Amino acid sequence: MARSFVAEARRRVGPRRTRIRPIIERLAEAHPDATIALRSRSPLELLVAVMLSAQTTDVNVNRVTPHLFAKYRRPEDYLAVPPEELERDIYATGFFRQKARSIRGTMRLLLDEYEGEVPRTLAELVRLPGVARKTANVVAAELGNAQGIVVDTHVRRLSQRLGLTREHDPVKIERGLVTLVPRADWHRFPHLLIWHGRRVCLARAPRCGLCAVSDLCPSSRVEPADGRIDGGGVPPRGARDGRAQPSTE
């Protein structure tokens, strides 16, 4: 899209701050089931699942964790077996040697400094081996203490398409989003973008005709009927139908 058309599209949909609330509300209506896809029953299981999800899919992690969590229930359990055994147990998630080292290092630190409990703050979480800011943000948010906004590939792509950021670096994108998105929505906002990105706003072929926020999006391929977008109104007809056909992306 030529620069002049991009600028015109941004003028047409209006400022980011006037669009962010209707974007969140409409996506919440279109994707009421938008939540973390990783399955866990405790803070420790959540932490391990998120660590395993690096460079693989949530579906793949969920295939591995039922057996893993039945076998390893406490931090001590991850340290009680040879490293090679843990590597075999998480082999299917990829990068298994590196992940096994990180998990064992994390369990050791949890026992040494946190009495075996998963910390809740971002500053403490990023101290754990193999836990970068994205992982820490996910864990903190799912434990009820969101301190930032998770930026994965879907959040980055949709934030750019929606004209909420012009940045490409995840840290800079998050820095901008936390000033734009109401703090009460920091937890659910990335889930809404992730599920919308999987179901409707696909990377190669976005389904703009089914999009609940097409009239709020400067990248939309749907032409407004009156040549103007004011940020109001109801989701386009058929937007809810897109919910029933998730992509495998």
**How far is the C-alpha of 96 from the C-alpha of 89, rounded, in Å?**
9
Active site residue 152: yes
115 conformational bin, left if phi > 0, alpha if psi -120 to 50, beta if neither: left
- Of 111, 127, 129, the C-alpha closest to 75 is 111
Q: Which residues fall within 8 angstroms of residue 106, CB to CB, at 6 or more apart? A: 47, 51, 128, 129, 130, 131
Active-site residue (options: 152, 169, 185, 215): 152
Residue 27 CA: distances (Å) to CA of 14, 51, 211: 18, 27, 9
Active-site residue (options: 89, 99, 134, 215): 134
Q: What 8-state DSSP symbol labels residue 244?
A: G
- Of 165, 233, 248, 242, the C-alpha closest to 211 is 242
**How far is the C-alpha of 102 from the C-alpha of 211, rounded, in Å?**
40
CB 162 within 8 A of CB 219: yes
Give the residue ranges of DSSP H helices in the chain. 3-13, 16-30, 43-52, 58-71, 75-80, 83-89, 96-113, 122-125, 133-142, 153-161, 170-180, 188-199
**How far is the C-alpha of 176 from the C-alpha of 23, rounded, in Å?**
16
Instruction: Give catalytic residues, as residue numbers.
Output: 134, 152
